[in-house]
Amino acid sequence: MFKASRERNAEKYVKECAKRTFQITEHNGRFWFTYNGSLFCPCDMMKKDPMDALSQLRNLYISELL
């Protein structure tokens, strides 16, 4: 009984962490996926070719650091 309760609590905790960690937010008129509050990827990029999206992600990363 204790083990089952602990497993349920652990699963609930992990699910809540996932909800807090991965979010969608608006930034400069676009919706973005976020990871721990940091912008990760514009949502509209998921509609494109994966290689094109990867290239755009790299360019966004570079532009934010420079």
The pLDDT tens digits for 21-50 are: 889 999 999 999 999 999 988 998 888 787
- What are the domain boundaries of the chain? 2-65
pLDDT at 32: 93
State the Cα–Cα distance between residues 40 and 23, nearest whole angstrom: 10
The pTM score is 0.65
pLDDT for 64 beyond 80: no
Residues of 41-60 as b/e, b for ≥16 C-beta within 10 angstroms? ebeebeeeeeeebeeeeeeb
